[in-house]
Amino acid sequence: MKRSHIIAILIIAVAIAALVGSLYDSSTYADLEQAMAHPGKEYHVVGVLDRSQAIVYEPSQNASLTQFSMVDLKGRTCTVMLHKAKPQDLERSERLVLIGEADENGNFHARDMLMKCPSKYNEENKVTGV
């Protein structure tokens, strides 16, 4: 077998291994009920900030922990431990997508969060009446 054939086979094998690894590692969208039923498995959970509960961020104690409450789209509430500093405009967010996993105590540990905030263009349209 030629050296170039062996190198090509190795490149293909590495590409297949990377593809299989990324499929195994990918998380899926779920509601809180499904995430709580499978603690330790990573999910994307969509919901809204529970504005009736306090947002706790104390950088003097732990600068990479923000705690708040979220309500998913089916109405279930849970405490979220976001393992990042408090995002700017968290209070103004319309919708949250948490990426993380639930624990056995009913808390959701998010390693990342995406926020949908009100668009400045929507606010301008409301003011100008366009």
pLDDT number for residue 17: 84
How is domain 28-117 classified at the CATH fold level?
A: OB fold (Dihydrolipoamide Acetyltransferase, E2P) (2.40.50)
Residues 97, 71 contacting (CB under 8 angstroms): no
pLDDT number for residue 117: 76
Q: Is residue 81 packed enough to be buried (19+ CB in 10 Å), middle (13-18) or exposed (0-12)?
A: middle
Banded model confidence at residue 124, pLDDT cuts 50, 70, 90:
low
For residues 14-25, average pLDDT: 76
pLDDT number for residue 116: 86
Q: What is the pTM of this model?
A: 0.70
Distance CA 80, CA 94 (A): 16
Percent of the chain's residues with pLDDT above 70: 86
Banded model confidence at residue 19, pLDDT cuts 50, 70, 90:
confident
Please report, to the nearest 10 degrees, the dihedral formed by the alpha carbons of residues 37, 35, 47, 87 taken in order.
130
